[in-house]
Structures are given as structure tokens and as C-alpha cells.
Amino acid sequence: MGYHHIALAARDMKAIHRFYEEVIGFNLVKVEIGPSPEGGWAKHFFYRMEDDSKFIAFWEIHDVPGVDTEFETNISKAAGLPDHINHLSFDVSDISELQRRKDQWIEAGYDVLEIDHNWCHSIYTKDPNDNLVEFCLTTGRFTESDRDFALAQLNTEEPDYSKPPKSTQLHPGKGKPKKKTG
């Protein structure tokens, strides 16, 4: 079982659309528009990630009482946490897709942090909402000892630290993120 969709608020839907459709390649397939229960109204945009059961969605809200138009869209900052804590991670099927995604981001002007975590390989950048976005490829297998260790960590106040990442590399984007007009 997977999730159907993640929904986040956005202040700049045009920038969100450029990033998630034009840079990442998810397709905008549906919008729901209507009144908000609190007052005002909203648009709820759905981007297909791989099939018609997995989406990322964004809310564009209008005239909702008590909502500042400059609300925080970074989910970690809104919670008072460092950027890397709350983030969006999407899977890839193999290393060539991970490389293709990295190249897309760099070509579109986004800096990319690449980390080999020893059991998965990830690339990260920031979306127009200032949220950390990741593509991740699982490269290891999980063992019973991995599970036993994870269960033991639920109750310890003196944890054994994990092995540091195998490699970390920052790839600068080519110029500024490209913006289309019109």
C-alpha cells in the first residue's frame, strides 16, 4: 500500500507548476476549485507522479480568513525545524534514472546535493516552496539484524551512530532556475 497524495499549500502556483511539471516531469491532471470551509476559496492542483493512484497536490488559497498571504510554505521552517527534517522523497527505478533526474535539475539551474547513504543513493534540491525535494534509489537490502537494531533504537537514550555516508557531493546548477514567461 502506498499513499494516494501529499497535499501542500503554495503561494506561487506558476513557479510550482514550472518545477513539478516542466523540470521534474509530473503531469498536472486535475484541479478541484471551491469554497473553503473557513471562508474564501481554493484551487487544489493534482500532479500525477507515475500512475492514477500517486499524486502530489498543491493548494492555492484565496481570501481565507485569518490566513496571512505570506504564510510559510517550507514545512520544516513552519515547524521550527532544520530544512532536512521534513522533506519530499520520490523513488527512482535505477541508477540511470537517478542520473537523469540529477542532470534535469542541474540543467534547469538548481543546485543538487548527492549523497550515497550506504543503503540508498539520493539527490536533493529545493522546490519553489523552499522545501527539500529528493529522488532516492534503494541500493541495499534489509536484514533481520537491521530490523533488530532499529527496534532497539526505539528505547535507547545512548544510540550507536550509523556509519557516515559513503560520499557527499554538491553539483551547482547551471545559472539560475529557468523561468518561462506567459
Domain boundaries, the chain: 1-63, 84-182
Instruction: Report the C-alpha gap between 119 and 65 in whole angstroms.
Output: 46
Residue identified by cell 537491521 is 146
The CATH T-level fold of domain 84-182 is 2,3-Dihydroxybiphenyl 1,2-Dioxygenase; domain 1 (3.10.180)
- The mean pLDDT value for 115-138 works out to 97
**For the chain, percent of residues with pLDDT exceeding 90:** 91
Q: What is the pTM of this model?
A: 0.91
Task: Report the distance separating Cα 26 and Cα 17, nearest Å.
Answer: 9
Instruction: Give pLDDT tens digits for 75-105.
Output: 999 999 999 999 999 999 999 999 999 999 9
CATH level 2 (architecture), domain 1-63: Roll (3.10)
Q: CA-to-CA distance for 111 and 170, rounded, in angstroms?
A: 7
- Say whether 84-182 and 1-63 share the same fold: yes
What pLDDT is recorded for position 179? 56
Task: Identify the pLDDT of residue 181.
Answer: 41
**How far apart are the C-alpha atoms of 118 and 114, rounded to whole Å?**
12
